[in-house]
């Protein structure tokens, strides 16, 4: 069962007056007065004033510089990545350049903190609630066969927290019970595994839409949000949504359910 309860976000905003400048305090007294984002701590950007807190919420502490920069950006100043940029990122394997819409990154980090508290691990939640492969144990993700041999070892669903790309780009994730072998010296896929994934993508996706409207990539280990379960990403440009409904079995991403 999915839950939408959110973790505590710290002290109430009434104490913030003590830490703001006089000009900032004016913004608190007059609702129509807007603070520039550079005046606000990063954890208050894109947050309604009624939900401001003095202290940084626990789920936003110890963030890396990339996340802090993103969280500090007002949504209206964020530029979604277009299809040509998406193709360039995947072609050059610079997948670290993908990022989320600032407010969606915040929701993602908050929900991940909740999942870890509720289910002990994100992996257990994914196995049980999103992939439907069992109760969340490692036995549940034991493959029946080799790579792409059996459909029951594969599940295609939406990325619950998609990257901040154009809205006509659909972001899916292909989860597998079998391993997708990496080269330990490069942290990249081995040539044979890359060829196997490409063959699967050609059969599953490119048989239903042009190859130039399909890209796929596998995150580096350092970028994986769920390292315990193998998966790779597929992005489709302007696909037939009936096709998406078919291959995801009518899946709805978490971001649209919470």
Domain CATH code at residue 214: 3.30.428
Q: How many residues does the chain have?
A: 258
Same domain as 174, residue 147: yes
> Which residues fall within 8 angstroms of residue 189, CB to CB, at 6 or more apart?
180, 181, 182, 183, 197, 218
pLDDT in tens, the chain (258 residues): 454 444 444 444 555 555 554 434 444 443 433 455 568 999 999 999 999 999 999 999 999 999 999 999 999 999 999 999 999 999 999 999 999 999 999 999 999 999 999 998 899 999 999 999 999 898 999 999 999 999 999 999 999 999 999 999 999 999 999 999 988 888 889 999 999 999 999 999 999 999 999 999 998 775 666 768 999 999 999 999 999 999 999 999 999 998
Same domain as 204, residue 173: yes
Helix (H) or strand (E) holding 243: helix 241-247
Same domain as 152, residue 26: no
Residue 109 within a domain: no
Same domain as 43, residue 18: yes
Residue 121 within a domain: no
Same domain as 28, residue 56: yes
Sheet holding 230-237, edge to edge: 154-158, 169-176, 230-237, 214-217
Same domain as 184, residue 228: yes
Q: Which two tokens stand for residue 212?
A: 């130039």
Helix (H) or strand (E) holding 228: none
Burial of 56 (0-12, 13-18, 19+ CB in 10 A): middle
Same domain as 175, residue 55: no
Please give the model's pTM, rounded to 2 decimal places. Answer: 0.85
Q: Which domain holds residue 69?
A: 13-77
Same domain as 88, residue 171: yes
Same domain as 33, residue 161: no
Same domain as 140, residue 67: no
Domain count, the chain: 2
Distances (CA, A) of 244 to 39, 235, 249, 254: 42, 11, 8, 16
Same domain as 163, residue 92: yes
Strand partners, 231: 175
Which residue, among 187, 169, 174, has the nearest Cα to 232 in the 3D structure?
174
Q: Are 158 and 173 in contact (CB under 8 A)?
A: yes
Q: What is the pLDDT of residue 2?
A: 54
Same domain as 225, residue 196: yes
């Amino acid at each position: 069962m999915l839950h939408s309860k959110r973790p505590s976000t710290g002290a109430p905003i009434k104490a913030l007056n003590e830490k703001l400048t006089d000009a900032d305090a004016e913004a608190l007294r007059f609702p129509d007065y807007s603070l520039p984002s550079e005046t606000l701590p990063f954890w208050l950007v894109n947050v309604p004033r009624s939900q401001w807190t003095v202290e940084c919420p626990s789920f936003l502490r110890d963030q890396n510089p990339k996340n802090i920069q993103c969280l500090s950006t007002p949504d209206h100043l964020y530029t979604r990545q277009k299809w040509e940029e998406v193709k360039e990122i995947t072609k050059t394997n610079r997948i670290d350049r993908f990022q989320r819409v600032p407010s969606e990154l915040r929701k993602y980090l908050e929900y991940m903190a909740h999942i870890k508290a509720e289910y002990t691990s994100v992996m257990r939640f994914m196995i049980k609630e999103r992939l439907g492969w069992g109760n969340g144990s490692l036995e549940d993700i034991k493959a029946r066969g080799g790579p792409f041999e059996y459909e029951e070892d594969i599940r295609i669903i939406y990325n619950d927290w998609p990257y901040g790309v154009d809205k006509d780009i659909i972001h899916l994730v292909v989860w597998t019970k079998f391993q997708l072998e990496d080269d330990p010296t490069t942290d990249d896929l081995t040539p044979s595994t890359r060829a196997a994934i490409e063959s699967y993508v050609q059969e599953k996706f490119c048989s239903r839409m042009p190859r130039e409207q399909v890209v796929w990539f596998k995150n580096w280990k350092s970028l994986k949000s769920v390292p315990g379960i193998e998966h790779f990403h597929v992005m489709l440009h302007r696909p037939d949504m009936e096709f998406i409904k078919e291959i995801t079995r009518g899946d709805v991403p978490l971001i649209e359910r919470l």
